[in-house]
Structure 1
């Protein structure tokens, strides 16, 4: 993404809150474009010969497979990168996304 703010510092301890980076999710944003690319890759997998419908997978397996396919596609295209140093330095990772209510 272009013009993305600098990453905030990692939390000091496991289970401390992670500071979040603001993301523009409007229809003309880079996020929106990436979301469409990833969504198409995930849908292609789900409907394809190795996907959810062909294998009668559980909902959890469908979600895991779709997320894997979407992330793999974006990584292979070089559209996203893994920050290995940040990931390996963190004391732990939040597994649930905090949602803002408005």
Structure 2
């Protein structure tokens, strides 16, 4: 794992990004497929988004939640609580740095 860059000093300062290998066969690729399967299963399942006629925003929120929960429950990702709580604020929009 790459060392994490320091947190920004103030809210709304840019967050330094960690480079991620997204190529086929990478760890990210495997996690993305696992999370995507969990999210798709939730959306298409009998209690999921399509069965309940959710809005697009509800579908996205539910799918992201399901994917994150699945990866956390499997122990494949961890929450860095110290970093989360030390941050002056969290960016809600992702700056695109790769295709």
Q: For the superposition of Structure 1 and Structure 2, which TM-score range results when normalised by the shorter chain?
A: over 0.9
So what's the TM-score if we normalise by structure 1?
A: 0.94
Q: What's the C-alpha RMSD, in Å, of the aligned pairs?
A: 1.1
Could you tell me which of 35, 38, 53 is aligned with 2:35? Answer: 38
Query: What SS does the aligned partner of 2:84 have?
Result: helix
Structure 2 gap segments, 5+ residues each: none
Instruction: State yes or no: 1:54 paired with 2:54.
Output: no
Cα distance in 2 between the residues matched to 1:101 and 1:26: 11
Deviation at 1:28, TM superposition (A): 1.2
Match of 2:81 in 1: 84
1:26 aligns with 2:23: yes
* Corresponding residue for residue 3 of structure 2: 6
How many residues get paired?
A: 99
